[in-house]
Amino acid sequence: MKLKFGPATLVAAAFIGPGTVVTASLAGANYGYALLWALLFAIAATIVLQEMAARIGVVTQQGLGENLRVAVQQPLLRQLFILLVVAAVVIGNSAYQGGNLTGASLGARSLWGDITWVEFFREDIGINPWAVILGSLATLILWQGHYKRIEKILIVLVVLMSIAFLFTFALSKPDIVAILKGLFIPSIPAGALLTTIALVGTTVVPYALFLHAASARERWGRASELADEANDARIRAALSEAKADIYTSIPLGGLITLAIISTAASAYFGSSEQITGAADLAVSLQPVFGNAATYLTAFGLLAAGLSSAITAPLASAYALTGVLGWSTNMRGWRFRATWLGIILIGVVVSSLGIQPFALIVFAQVANGILLPLITYFLLMVVNQKRMGAFANSKRQNGVAALVFVIALGLGARSIWLAIT
């Protein structure tokens, strides 16, 4: 199976955002390498779920939202599904977008400093210039409405982000034995449960399922019409490419997160110095590992924030137009209005100067709680009759059910901790 970059790279771009940088930094700084097993589970779960999402997009030539409308026939239940998608994906991404742009702004500021040469961007009127600039850049990228160009831009961002964080990882001289123990010997240190759930929640991102199904349809749009047996070979070829893409991009995203955890563990675990956010990681690495680590981390944060600031609005547009039965054409006015509204909300939230650290971590925990519900919806769709020979096998359903049960257990435990 050849290494390939495609729609799954958008998924990696989606889950490696400022929230992941913050959560991974906290996990490493506070618990060393102990929670790497949770990351390994999260990557395995992401591969299982995203493969099903991509298969749905290729086989049915529809996104997950459109398929949910077909799978759920009861009107009241369908409305509840739509409300859940709007709440979890659209409203959730509106909240995340402020953190995406703020995180990207922190990286840009660490690299190039504050912008003081434009009168409109005076601090006394509370406007974050970098958020405006980066939000405008995301708007220009999405406005073109050309999937393949957007995919190529995001592939470049993910590759550059990978180089930045992996070089920082190498500079930190990590403890390889400790990394292996953390990966394969599960443990939850005292007080680490919520961080464990957040680490899973920031990796297995529900909205990425909608993004992947729709992106796979865009990428392999000619492999259509399941009822026509002559197309089976084309569908299988497309699914083979999709799997190669998944097995390249998702593990790469996991490797980036591992690099961030390990860098934070090398720099902070066991020391008295505290880390409160992503900006702290970039700035305070300088005395430990030198200027190179500082600049690489800042660039990685910029790339992570910008890539997520593109994928979050895009996924929301696919999800909302799909579940409401609107056109999913990327140049349609409803599609554009959805992602543009989310970018504008993000710019406003970021420009208010709200410290996003606690809100981002809380949102990641909420994602972990919502994950079992989204997994159930995915299983419902991938087992419908219209999937034909490409529906889940018993083995695939068994693996997906295991992911569902573990995610359900983590979510239930977090709710119990919150109310007791």
- In the chain, what percentage of residues exceed pLDDT 70? 84
CATH 1.10.4160.10 holds for 7-419: yes
Q: What is the pLDDT of residue 287?
A: 56
Q: What DSSP designation does 90 have?
A: I
Average pLDDT over residues 387-395: 90
**DSSP state letters, 346-413:** HHHHHHTT---HHHHHHHHHHHHHHHHHHHHHHHHHHTSGGGGGGSPPHHHHHHHHHHHHHHHHHHHH
Higher pLDDT, 86 or 237: 237
Q: What is the pLDDT of residue 75?
A: 85
Given a cut of 90, whether residue 407 has pLDDT beyond it is: no
pLDDT tens digit string along 289-302? 667 778 888 899 99
CA count, 13 A, side-chain hemisphere, 47: 18
DSSP, collapsed to helix, strand or coil, labels residue 7 as helix
Q: What is the pLDDT of residue 206?
A: 83
Given a cut of 80, whether residue 368 has pLDDT beyond it is: no
Count other C-beta atoms under 10 Å from residue 413's C-beta: 16
Higher pLDDT, 18 or 278: 18
Give Cβ neighbours of residue 214 (< 8 Å, ≥ 6 apart).
57, 63, 64, 315, 318, 322, 328
Domain boundaries, the chain: 7-419
Given a cut of 60, whether residue 249 has pLDDT beyond it is: yes
pLDDT band for 226, please (50, 70, 90 cuts): very low
The rounded distance, in Å, linking the Cα atoms of 318 and 280 is 35
Q: What is the pLDDT of residue 406?
A: 81
